[in-house]
Structure 1
Amino acid sequence: MDSLVLELQRDVLDRSIHITDLLRKALLVSRKLKISDIEEWLSDELNGYNGKSVPSYRTLTGELKGFNPYRGWIPMMLGDDINDMISVTPIHDSVSQIIDLVERSDGGSVMIKFPQDMSMTIMRMIGRDIEPALHIPVHQLVRIVDVTKTKILDFALDLETRGILGEGIRFSKAEEQLAQSITYHTINIERMDNSKIHQASDGSNQSR
């Protein structure tokens, strides 16, 4: 009987398999092995990081722009320190939502609008009634998907290294015990403190 862990490794390398299917299979493995850290991470990737801090690979940097009715979107400067802070944003969307944003983009950037209160603050700072938004390069969103796939592979390879393969979709009690030392740190998932950057994205609306 085949091993679910080895099957997961093969699936990660198969470009025809959608990442949401990989996440579900990895979630099945983590739940059967009772690896709570990895199960939580996989669930957050599938459903979104609602009200939670995000891993470091989901913290992106964009360009602050304002919409000029005559010239379109133009760069906005509020001072280097302020621009640097505002331009960094955590992405809380599920992987499927991120893929949808990428597919609906023109290949250049994705626009993230600020919450209304923050938009008003920015407009007061520049002294003009120009709607601000953060423009994120699409390749940064693509990287979130790529990093997620790599970490799923790291998880499956780590299980094999520990001798945890399973038989079909079942794992032995001994394998469950071996898996209990696996945590976020095993596959290098660093949770970010959003205290500095949450204000640039919480409640934001994302569009092309």
Structure 2
Amino acid sequence: MNNLPLVLQLQELATNNESDISELLRKSLLVSTKLDLTEFRDWANSELHGYKEDSNVPAYRQVLTDLRVLNPYHGYIPFLIDDPEFMDLICNNVKVTVGIGSLIDLLHGPNPENARLVMPLPSEVTIDLMRMQGRDFQLEPQRIVGRNQIAGILDEVRTIILEWSLKLEKDNILGEGLTFSAAEKNRAHANINIQNFQGILGDVSQSKVTQNLHQTVKQGDFESLRTYLEENGIGAQDLDDLKSAISSDPPGGQVSSYGENVGHWVGNMISKAATGAWDIGIGAAGGLLGNAIGAYYGLN
């Protein structure tokens, strides 16, 4: 039986690459529940059981996928599209929502070197891509998440829990047996919050983001959208371009896609995030823009 305090047990598991990540998450769930740290508890639950809402998926689970078709004779082969913006739209920032156990099984299954996660495309996109192949020979395209990206998600989870447990230890919150003192719980409530981990977790607290959006971005009010995006580092010229794009598109956005001009603007901003011209992570950029513009159109 491990006699270390609970928080030090977390550190022991997190720093051991051979330890079971599911066990690490379950122990994190235990600690966060006993300390009544609801945001971290909800994150641990989502990692264990999967993310039920796309809006809650953190940045490190938003990945770049390969577009492929399964050839019956040659296995998976690349599916190439001449339009790079369309390719980026369907293959970038794809949200991996499955629970951590499924990812572990892929990496440690009978054929780990060929581990891959298949992410289905929306049905209307699938139909369009199959039409592009011609009438004689049509194969269903699929988005593939490779082994290195799956391993990267697992590694991020370890890092998040290690950073969290180190913060707990720094604030003298350790736990004895399976309990925490009243003083430890009070310190946790005062000092430990999701903002301590924003650099690692990205958009893990999307419920707060969504709530803030409803308070600051009003449907149909471009100035409220401009103010919100400006606060997130988007420059005046880019915001003027967005206003022009919204004015040029037909009125009334769709849930699955904005107008063509707004779509091009979003793609341009994600490219800026990728090159560092906009100081934000590429995964977080897609979520921020999608939520903000969705709030403007009344889609959230």
What is the match of residue 65 of structure 1?
68
Provide, for residues 7-29 of structure 1, a one-character-per-residue CA deviation record: whole Å limited to 9, x for no partner. 22112223443111111111111
Match of 2:194 among 177, 180, 184: 184
Match of 2:106 among 101, 106, 110: 101
Q: What is the alpha-carbon distance in structure 2 between the residues aligned to residue 62 and residue 97 of structure 1? A: 18
Amino acid at match of 2:121: F
Q: What is the alpha-carbon distance in structure 2 between the residues aligned to residue 179 and residue 160 of structure 1? A: 10
Provide, for residues 124-156 of structure 1, a one-character-per-residue CA deviation record: whole Å limited to 9, x for no partner. 355452210112220110111111011111111
Maintained 8 Å contact 2:48/2:101: yes
Q: Does residue 120 of the first structure (1) align with residue 120 of the second (2)?
A: no
Q: What is the alpha-carbon distance in structure 2 between the residues aligned to residue 4 and residue 111 of structure 1? A: 34
Maintained 8 Å contact 2:22/2:100: yes
TM-score (ref. length: structure 2): 0.59
Q: What is the alpha-carbon distance in structure 2 between the residues aligned to residue 69 and residue 6 of structure 1? A: 51
Provide, for residues 148-168 of structure 1, a one-character-per-residue CA deviation record: whole Å limited to 9, x for no partner. 011111111000111111222
Query: Structure 1 or 2: larger strand share?
Result: 1
What is the match of residue 27 of structure 1?
29
- SS of 1:107's equivalent in the other structure is helix
Amino acid at match of 1:80: P
Query: Structure 1 140/115 Cα, relative in aligned 2: closer, same or farther at 3 Å?
Result: same
Provide, for residues 39-77 of structure 1, a one-character-per-residue CA deviation record: whole Å limited to 9, x for no partner. 000010111002243111111112111234555433223
Unaligned runs of 5+ in 2: 204-283, 291-300
Amino acid at match of 1:123: M
Alpha-carbon shift at residue 100 of structure 1 (Å)? 1.1
Query: Structure 1 or 2: larger helix share?
Result: 2
Report sequence identity in percent: 33
Match of 1:80 among 78, 84, 95: 84
Unaligned runs of 5+ in 1: 197-208
Q: What is the alpha-carbon distance in structure 2 between the residues aligned to residue 80 and residue 40 of structure 1? A: 37
Tell me which of the two structures has the higher relative contact order, counting C-alpha pairs closer than 8 angstroms and 6 or more residues apart: 1
* Of 45-54 and 152-161, the range deviating more from structure 2: 45-54
- SS of 1:135's equivalent in the other structure is strand
Match of 1:161 among 163, 170, 190: 170
Tell which structure's C-alpha radius of gyration is larger: 2
Q: What is the alpha-carbon distance in structure 2 between the residues aligned to residue 177 and residue 76 of structure 1? A: 55
Amino acid at match of 2:171: R
What is the match of residue 205 of structure 1?
none
- SS of 1:66's equivalent in the other structure is strand
* Of 119-128 and 28-37, the range deviating more from structure 2: 119-128
